[in-house]
Amino acid sequence: MQFGAGYNQTGTTVTTTIAKNNHTAGTSTNLGTSVTTNTLDGAAVNFQPVDISTAGAVISYNGASCFVRYSDATQETIPGATSITSLNHATRNKHNADGSVTPMECPQIVGWNSTGCALFQKNPDTNAYESPLLSQLVAPNSGWTVNYVMAINDSGCIVGGANYSGSNTNIVTGQHGCLLIPVQVTSVSFDGTKYWQLESDDATTQYSAPQWTDTNGNYNASDPGEHNYAVAYTRNTKPKIGATFKIPGASNWTNLKFKATGPDGISIPATAGTVGGDGVTVTLAVTESTTALPNTVKFYNWADSISFTLNWSMSVDGGSTWTSIFTTKHTVYVTLDDPSPNTDGQHFEETLFYLGCKDANGVSSQTDLINDVWTDFQSRAMHRVSNLSSAMTYYANSANPYSTHNGVDSLMAFGDGRCGSYQQLMMQILYDQGLPESTVKPKVVTPNTDYISQALTAYQAQYGVDPTTIYDQRNVRNIFFVKNWTLSTSTPFSPVDLPDIPAQGNSNPIAVFGDHALVEINGQIYDPSYGDGPYSSVIDWQDASIDGFGVQFIDPTGLAANFVLYVGKLETHATQNVNYNDQ
């Protein structure tokens, strides 16, 4: 690379030239005539270049505005810039709709805005300029305030001036010349003996390491192509955490060390980093914290004040002096115990851990955890992390209920489910907190009397048609009427559906079923679909939930509007009219 800036006076002409690689920009002023000629790569231009990059981009002024002109002669204003001194050649990836990326020329430009010294760079995904103050990019509470900038190179290193007013007596207070070296945390990885790898709610993405990535160096992990995956641990265990860093000139330091502190005493001890073959990438292998996570269920959410915040520090002299370099924020779920194996298989969708740890944050006993999780079910407004704006629903498509997905995996993926979905949801939340199957049991209730024979006879008498010519055996079933109904055995084909008891995300769900899924915990019966209970006996559940029993003739098209219902018996209080079995 060639780099140079020259000043020359010949006779009455003063010439200033900037050259980088094979690109030149210059200004010539005739002192006798005051005529100024500005050039860019030998061609006259109508602006005065301030600096030129190795790719031929130029920064300059246009009246009160600062702008950058690219080698293809396109030009754009730098919003907010009041003065500019230097630029480099840098690229950032533009993320396309098809998932591909296109490298775009986005030079870093140093100068001033109305507040102070700033670093300007365009985000190619938004076409908006980001302009953090340089003092904001220096470690907080370091005592340094950057107040002058002169130049930036293609590695992002900046030469300028800064005032020191900190507490380190080894540094003279006042103004200093400075070299700012960008240190970027590019990824953070989590591991450990009690680390549990999660997956997205639709099970398409495994939250494998590195769980936090910042590929474009803008100090967050939320841009396209980046991610900030949640992680999970068992309480009172020590996490292992590592990271990668991007440091220009890292190979010049032979004694780099890194450390990090986190919430609740988490501490990654000073550990040597390994410089990669590019001389820039430095890796800190996953290192065990010297202290354990809290001995309670815990919910750390990266997006708010309860985040799992890691404060990273770096030393270039083997640990004698340290500089704070960056903070990263993460979502961490701390479970009551190790996730429990179960007949349905272990499920690690993030929402299962989110609901358990959010609901029971701070508890240390199974009883408290069950009560706190159940309180969320009773709210009938439970949310997935993949869609916090809309509550999950129970039989949302009442016009075609058989299109409703079944099972906890479908509930996680689509946000709507049947009774079996909510039964599995409650059980899997508790299994993932370490409760065993011997404590959390799936149960199913069905009518204990067959009303089909009398319903077939009554149907032919009512409608003058043999129902077996319309419905096959699969389309006639015994059912119970879930509250609230007006029922009469004297007019058995005229049940009146009243406003029903509310269910998850649905204030008036369908209210006839051939069976219903429940959960039993320590002898108590829970109805997670309705957030109802717990009940100490099946009869108590039945009395609170059922108005009667009968038969449903299911239209072969599956449309709810074409169902024919027959009332066989009204619910008899204090008499068990349902079978209650293991599922």
- Rounded to the nearest integer, the mean pLDDT of the chain is 89
| Same domain, residue pair 208 and 147 | no
| Same domain, residue pair 120 and 102 | yes
Q: Is 47 inside any structural domain? A: yes
Domain with 574, as residue range(s), is 441-582
| Same domain, residue pair 549 and 483 | yes
Say if residues 424 and 344 touch (Cβ distance below 8 Å): yes
Q: CA-based Rg of the chain, rounded to a whole angstrom?
A: 34
Helices 350-359 and 366-379, axial angle in degrees (round to 10): 110
Q: Counting every residue, how long is the chain? A: 583
DSSP H helices, 294-418, are 350-359, 366-379, 408-414
pLDDT tens digits along 59-95:
887 667 898 988 888 889 999 999 999 999 998 888 8
Q: Is the pLDDT of residue 33 over 70?
A: no
Q: What one-character-per-residue DSSP string does 344-367 give?
A: T----BHHHHHHHHHHTTT--SHH
Q: What share of the chain is helix, strand, coil (3-state, %, to 5)?
A: 15, 40, 45
The most confident of the ranges 6-20, 43-57, 156-170 is: 156-170
Give the separation between CA 374 and CA 376, rounded to whole angstroms: 5
Q: Is 371 inside any structural domain? A: no
Average pLDDT over residues 528-551: 96
| Same domain, residue pair 151 and 198 | no
Average pLDDT over residues 198-224: 91
| Same domain, residue pair 121 and 143 | yes
Side-by-side strand order, sheet with 195-196: 195-196, 231-234, 332-335, 298-300
The per-residue pLDDT for 2 is: 35
Boundary of a domain, candidates 310, 335, 360: 335
Q: Quick check: helix, strand or coil at residue 386?
A: coil
pLDDT tens digits along 382-399:
999 999 999 999 999 876
Give the separation between CA 458 and CA 460, rounded to whole angstroms: 6
Kind and range of the H or E run holding 259: strand 257-261
Kind and range of the H or E run holding 420: helix 419-432
Q: Is the pLDDT of residue 157 over 60?
A: yes
Q: Is 425 inside any structural domain? A: no
| Same domain, residue pair 254 and 201 | yes
pLDDT band (50, 70, 90) for residue 17? low
| Same domain, residue pair 195 and 258 | yes
Give the separation between CA 158 and CA 162, rounded to whole angstroms: 12
pLDDT band (50, 70, 90) for residue 410? very high
**Domains: count for the chain:** 3
Q: Is 41 inside any structural domain? A: yes
Query: What is the maximum span of the chain, computed from C-alpha positions, in angstroms?
Result: 120
Q: Is the pLDDT of residue 483 over 70?
A: yes
Q: Is the pLDDT of residue 560 over 90?
A: no
Q: Is the pLDDT of residue 40 over 70?
A: no
Q: Is 155 inside any structural domain? A: yes
| Same domain, residue pair 87 and 198 | no
Of 44-53, 211-220, 320-329, least confident by mean pLDDT is 44-53
Which residue is associated with the tokens 């004698």?
320
pLDDT tens digits along 310-331:
999 999 899 998 888 889 999 9
| Same domain, residue pair 114 and 191 | no
Q: Is 416 inside any structural domain? A: no
Boundary of a domain, candidates 311, 335, 359: 335
Q: Is 42 inside any structural domain? A: yes
Q: Is 321 inside any structural domain? A: yes
| Same domain, residue pair 35 and 16 | yes
